[in-house]
Structure 1
């Protein structure tokens, strides 16, 4: 042991001595100058890269500098560089935080001086104590702050085409470890820097392969060629930054794991979009549940970083005019939601390592040109910029160093604020209502009640339970987040700028779970038990036999249970009750299921696995009151030019255990679709009918997306020999034949508009929406055909989640195709005419009786809709017969981001009853 300590001491002394004798790497510095296109883009504080005798800089390691023209590294190469830093420097520690869907590791890299790294567990424990004021008094917190260091988490590579930050962070790491500059030394000594080198390595590798395969060396940036690989993650594309409420993807789980292990004081996420460097504060409105301290920190830190960039003589840095600060579901908002500080940058990027002349003359943010001089942009860029990969590296790195420097200079303030925000949240729980949220375990879908409790747990919110309820008390450090998730939002109608994303996220409504907000504690606190691990609803089986009844209430797990029964017992018979029936003393609602020819053990397993209650009986129900369930062969269509929502649909089906087949344009062109599938789902896609038919322009083809030795990350999760083109008119006609021959075509959101435009659902027409503005909100809908199988398990009025989707309608004589409408009032052309009719003899009028008009509930449950009168009465769901089949058109997305689980059974109903639609 003594020998080991002696050798370690020698190594540290050697490292310190070598640091003192470092010389600049003039070759590296000259290359920075060479690849930077303008002196004003060349910050002086980056021109001090040292030539360390034992720690390799990127030039020595890779043979070229970071930001070199045409050079980008795959995830394994990047991780190997950090491993080399950790091997050669006692200031670097590397830690794995999980594994991606495709098996790639998530890493974080921790950097600080040797003394700090040796006490890392101590500092992590200190921030954990500051995170919970119930464990730490204000007096204790003052002492802890003086013996703590802010943990600053910096992440890059969430969005694969934003290719600067994963490269830049390698150079930053080397600089933090080796630079003798006083600013860097101060950061090393006073801050624990946690780097997430590539937040999404699956997408990163696909995009690196895409760059080398297709876009490297292209002459013009804006030439129409797709700059992105078709897929990033296995399921989720750009929405991997919209998973902070669901926590469904491995990338999000890794971010949450790092937060709750380190409790970082600040989290900074590096993105690319707007010119030249945007430093987040947002235009507002800010989320009501973010502590005012955090909102003020956004301003101070944002302006500090802009000033630091300006101090280097670099133009184009700005704050305020991009993004709002409302929606809590971004990945980095794990910080803002938990009393920390979440920020982001947007640097201008070229989706690769080439240099392009970029035109920003017409770009506008918050109404102002990107080239205009404003209070928030003191030094704008010129209308055109000759922009290189190295320019991007320079801007982002200067900003991050400035931000780390701010943390080093204001360490105690940031840590004190971190504690005070948790204290404020706790105090609100003590002094303000509600005092608790109670979730009854007896719900129409008890499995979703358990799911809600588990989602709160995943957010770090404390949950208790007794025999009948899950209970979340608000007197806890994350009280603000709890109240935010469980109560309706009210986005200001007079907000000057449109919201950046959805504006409503009330989980009880999205999950279809009844929750009560309690303004006082009227239950026994001592009887509560803390929930330490995920809970599960274990379905019950009442009685024994070989026939069981499943009372249907639109539970999310019924359809996968039916598929499981069929796969495990081919002799089992499944029947649905299309009308309400009284059996064995129970009233069974329409949609209830009879499961025949299974034994009690099989019933118990189904009940347990899927959280469903089964009851033996139903043998006396007349066969005339039953219809056999034919579970469908389902296909989900992949458009290739836009896979975002197709990925969410695949993820939802797989999580639910619903089998499906992925198909693309080649399958549509091949035809004979009805011989292979009973249901085809067209998830939401961007664009219009032209995009759907023709896809990626054929002039760029052939464009294979296949796995090769040279491009090993391609060909997953789907492959094609040519991405270009679409199904064409042949494929469109085959899709029509599929429906005419008895298939069910389900369209979601924008694909409903596309199919209407293409004439497959010719009864549907677009409606001029005038001044309607409908960002993602939870709103009320009304069933117009309550006996439709699509509505089994739903009441006459219910809420659903809708964004700015299409507004469609039929002619009045086809209104029976409208299954569900938005709001409660009829359309104007459906209001009966009560005036005189020319040409008809006057009818004797009965004496008028004053009728009291019933006041309908508000249309908006959570969120905001401007000019809602434009949509009320219009169709939310249409069922249109086409030949022997049907088109079921949703004008919203019931499978939105694995979030609106209350809406999803509308799709499951369609699958269960695909051959029984009228």
Structure 2
């Protein structure tokens, strides 16, 4: 080697070492250290720091943009592992996905792959952006894992691939900037943020993961359910229950009956690792089980959707934030018990403490994964294999209603057999319901065979979604929701027959013999929430979220449950490949075109046609009432051709203009209510209106109170919790957690958003609007406007006390948390055009009415939907549902020259309830 070449080599080496990016300290980059009181980092700063960490650690950190947010920011995921693992990352990812799907693997092959692979662990932060511990622990943990050189960190990097993912960049930017805007640190607060911290849905961004409407949800869902399928996902939240530091795994009952038990016990194992580490580090205050409200029942949350995919989904809810606070005294939490083995004492609590706890919890999870990568990989395979086996044979999921049927039948039979006045065996069974007495005889097996294991009660082997149903484009959206969550879909390439029924080509088939069978059942089958009370005869225990949500029911999808194994001319679609309905436009349309109002996406086409200046008419009578007629023209053909391709709608051609009455479709001046701080139901509705191309204006209480509404708007939409309760009461369950700021504390640009709807000012303005010919659409609790206006309707869910005073039914008698119920619909009414005669609704202790018979006869009010019987429950929990019979759940009423529409159900619920969107759309022309 020449001296010259040696010097050149040394120069290049020194240049390489000198040019390698160095991670500045947190203080240098942010101006403070993560966890400092009264200081928050925004997303711009965080993104830049992530990039500096990645640049300084190119061998261990790969920074990936997984998509754009709703506000257009890059959503980041940092993949962190050892250089050796990065060199074979594609293979490790392949093993993770293969093990999770468990297709075509033997136990022997699975053991070999488990030995070859590495554990994949997801750690996220920031989904709820006011929960700033969650966001900042992500920064701190990424920094520690990439900078620490201890043996534990090395073992983690050698055996684990970590996916550090930011869930809500937009929200972090908004919240951190808002908090930091005050120069005086002691005046900084987050309580008065002017809008939702996710563009449309705020806190409900954690209720979106089984349908994935939001861009952030789709970005995350693809990584979780299609690209990586980690064995563990850890979802950071806050606020811990009062008197504790945090709530974590394991969680309280009920857990969902479709889960594989390995997922539930996997949560137990990780939970033990987490609270054991905190105890070893003298960090008290971890509560679990019944120490908090968190369960594993609900699907749809970022953490909970993973449970239905055999992942060990972890949630912690921790106290703390940039503003110091107190751990309050809650006496009942001071005594150690199984819920809280190591209680915390009342004390001042600081941001840094919560960050330290969170890092310890992350390390506990990562250390467990590093020590057990083969077990985690094999266990997720085994759970998937179990699901495939259950879906390949007769299997019965043990639902509470079936156990209840056994107990009822046995008690009834014993009562008939026992001498009068004696309880007999039934009394003995009731005295020992859990079989603690080992010598007890139990219940005869015949009850199990007939009421739990009857052939008709088997779980389905699959589901068929016919392509000839009325609103097939919406059915395809449902299929795409399944695809986004990693479900294997098959599609018929030719007509076929199953159980004597013929199905057309293009129908979709979803078989349950696949790894994520729990999720499939959860999307198609009813949820059977158990009767859950504080004590016998006492008040109900509120579910963590909804009790029932069956997405196929919400979306109005028609499908058939197939109980036996079946096959046909089916092709398997590639995982993650989204579908589009086969749209078409009739070649022969000399008389124009027809669009069915049964198809939700027809409203998009109509709005686009009207915006393009084309005439559209609505047929108002006859068998086609509600359908849209478009006169034939070259421009109409082109516009409809584009719509059929992008929307998948079928456009029928007609030889001549349809006979009968019709009216021209004209766009109305639509106003949608919102409030300072943001309304989630309003945000969901805003997103829906944008998706369906309705032009609208967002209005606030001050706009309503200003009056002269008819000069500006034709229709005003009030979502739930907009209209104040009639004669006291509180429509907004979050009101206790919200602080109304003073106007002089708020920047001028946000002051028009302030104010509240009131009976004194807002209601008279709305009455004048209606009397002048305006339309008002009310949803959920906002149907209270009918009472404010003195309409001839009353609350159907009341009783008379012994003193003769009418009061709402107590929860001990009647309680229906978020569930799916079936109602009858007047589908001939203009307000209900396109809906079937029976419709599933989202019902959350929703308003139900009795209408004055005289007023109905005179046409003052007209029912649109009602409960025809005493068993309307389709999915979820309905205690005392018999009280609903004959109650009206939707109606229209004349008010002067205008009209009020009252929809008690949540007809736009979380943009999931596609089956009832038309109740909103029909009122917007």
The TM-score range, normalised by the shorter chain, is 0.7 to 0.9
* SS of match in other structure, 1:431: coil
Aligned length: 805
Alignment-derived partner of residue 208 in structure 1: 176
Question: 1:820·1:877 contact (CA, 8 Å) conserved in 2?
Answer: yes
CA shift, 1:808, in A, is 4.2
The TM-score normalised by the length of structure 1 is 0.81
Alignment-derived partner of residue 439 in structure 2: none
Query: How do 1:583-598 and structure 2 match up within 5 A?
Result: 588-598=623-633
CA shift, 1:73, in A, is 0.7
* Partners of 1:643 and 1:8 in 2: CA distance: 61
Asked if 1:395 corresponds to 2:326, the answer is: no
CA shift, 1:234, in A, is 1.4
Question: 1:243·1:330 contact (CA, 8 Å) conserved in 2?
Answer: yes
Query: How do 1:622-641 and structure 2 match up within 5 A?
Result: 622-623=659-660, 625-641=661-677
Note closer, same or farther for the CA distance 1:485–1:325 as it changes in structure 2 (3 Å cut): same
* Partners of 2:276 and 2:616 in 1: CA distance: 71
* Partners of 1:697 and 1:282 in 2: CA distance: 31
Range 548-557 or range 300-309, more displaced: 548-557
* SS of match in other structure, 1:418: helix
* SS of match in other structure, 2:233: strand
Asked if 1:239 corresponds to 2:204, the answer is: yes
* Aligned counterpart for 1:648 among listed residues 684, 707, 714: 684
Alignment-derived partner of residue 219 in structure 2: 254
Note closer, same or farther for the CA distance 1:428–1:813 as it changes in structure 2 (3 Å cut): same
* Aligned counterpart for 2:911 among listed residues 891, 895, 898: 898
Note closer, same or farther for the CA distance 1:701–1:530 as it changes in structure 2 (3 Å cut): closer
* SS of match in other structure, 1:151: strand
Note closer, same or farther for the CA distance 1:139–1:215 as it changes in structure 2 (3 Å cut): farther
* Aligned counterpart for 1:883 among listed residues 887, 896, 899: 896
Gaps of 5+ in 1: 16-51, 363-368, 581-587, 707-718, 826-855, 913-918
* Partners of 2:924 and 2:101 in 1: CA distance: 47
Note closer, same or farther for the CA distance 1:172–1:616 as it changes in structure 2 (3 Å cut): closer
Asked if 1:340 corresponds to 2:305, the answer is: no
* Partners of 2:670 and 2:723 in 1: CA distance: 24
* Partners of 1:541 and 1:233 in 2: CA distance: 38
CA shift, 1:147, in A, is 1.6
Alignment-derived partner of residue 735 in structure 1: 766
* Partners of 2:465 and 2:516 in 1: CA distance: 18
Asked if 1:575 corresponds to 2:611, the answer is: no
* Aligned counterpart for 1:446 among listed residues 448, 461, 472: 472
Alignment-derived partner of residue 843 in structure 2: 802
Question: 1:701·1:723 contact (CA, 8 Å) conserved in 2?
Answer: no
CA shift, 1:98, in A, is 0.9
Question: 2:38·2:188 contact (CA, 8 Å) conserved in 1?
Answer: no
Note closer, same or farther for the CA distance 1:700–1:358 as it changes in structure 2 (3 Å cut): farther
CA shift, 1:376, in A, is 1.9
Query: How do 1:541-552 and structure 2 match up within 5 A?
Result: 541-542=585-586, 544-548=588-592, 550=594, 552=596
Question: 1:287·1:328 contact (CA, 8 Å) conserved in 2?
Answer: no
Question: 2:222·2:484 contact (CA, 8 Å) conserved in 1?
Answer: no
* Partners of 2:370 and 2:285 in 1: CA distance: 25
- Output the aligned Cα RMSD: 3.3
Question: 1:761·1:887 contact (CA, 8 Å) conserved in 2?
Answer: no
Question: 1:555·1:905 contact (CA, 8 Å) conserved in 2?
Answer: no
Query: How do 1:81-480 and structure 2 match up within 5 A?
Result: 81-89=49-57, 90-196=59-165, 198-213=166-181, 217=185, 226-259=191-224, 260-274=226-240, 275-321=244-290, 322-350=293-321, 353-359=322-328, 361=330, 369-382=332-345, 384-432=346-394, 433-466=459-492, 467=494, 468=504, 469-480=507-518
Note closer, same or farther for the CA distance 1:441–1:215 as it changes in structure 2 (3 Å cut): farther
Range 134-143 or range 54-63, more displaced: 54-63
CA shift, 1:677, in A, is 1.7
* Partners of 1:172 and 1:313 in 2: CA distance: 20
* Partners of 1:91 and 1:449 in 2: CA distance: 43
* Aligned counterpart for 1:78 among listed residues 46, 56, 76: 46
CA shift, 1:885, in A, is 0.6
* Aligned counterpart for 1:721 among listed residues 742, 751, 763: 751
* Partners of 1:294 and 1:640 in 2: CA distance: 41
CA shift, 1:641, in A, is 4.1
* SS of match in other structure, 1:379: coil
Note closer, same or farther for the CA distance 1:488–1:788 as it changes in structure 2 (3 Å cut): same
* Partners of 2:316 and 2:183 in 1: CA distance: 25
* Partners of 1:620 and 1:230 in 2: CA distance: 48
Note closer, same or farther for the CA distance 1:292–1:118 as it changes in structure 2 (3 Å cut): same
Asked if 1:513 corresponds to 2:557, the answer is: yes
* Partners of 1:531 and 1:401 in 2: CA distance: 33
* Partners of 1:305 and 1:208 in 2: CA distance: 29
* Partners of 2:207 and 2:12 in 1: CA distance: 47
Alignment-derived partner of residue 434 in structure 2: none
Gaps of 5+ in 2: 395-458, 495-503, 535-540, 798-807
Question: 1:569·1:598 contact (CA, 8 Å) conserved in 2?
Answer: no
* SS of match in other structure, 1:772: coil
Range 310-319 or range 795-804, more displaced: 795-804
Note closer, same or farther for the CA distance 1:721–1:692 as it changes in structure 2 (3 Å cut): farther
Alignment-derived partner of residue 41 in structure 1: none
Question: 1:553·1:792 contact (CA, 8 Å) conserved in 2?
Answer: yes
* Partners of 1:537 and 1:84 in 2: CA distance: 45
The TM-score normalised by the length of structure 2 is 0.81
Question: 1:57·1:174 contact (CA, 8 Å) conserved in 2?
Answer: no
Note closer, same or farther for the CA distance 1:142–1:615 as it changes in structure 2 (3 Å cut): closer
Note closer, same or farther for the CA distance 1:618–1:161 as it changes in structure 2 (3 Å cut): same
Question: 1:438·1:471 contact (CA, 8 Å) conserved in 2?
Answer: yes
CA shift, 1:896, in A, is 0.4
Range 672-681 or range 740-749, more displaced: 672-681
* Partners of 2:782 and 2:182 in 1: CA distance: 29
* Partners of 1:530 and 1:305 in 2: CA distance: 38
* SS of match in other structure, 2:544: coil
CA shift, 1:294, in A, is 0.7
- CA deviations 1:46-75 (Å, max 9, x no partner) are xxxxxx995544245434321111111111
Question: 2:73·2:169 contact (CA, 8 Å) conserved in 1?
Answer: yes
Note closer, same or farther for the CA distance 1:820–1:315 as it changes in structure 2 (3 Å cut): same
* Aligned counterpart for 2:883 among listed residues 866, 870, 876: 870
- CA deviations 1:164-194 (Å, max 9, x no partner) are 1222222222222232433333222222222
* Partners of 1:704 and 1:533 in 2: CA distance: 46
* Partners of 1:378 and 1:903 in 2: CA distance: 47
Question: 1:444·1:553 contact (CA, 8 Å) conserved in 2?
Answer: no
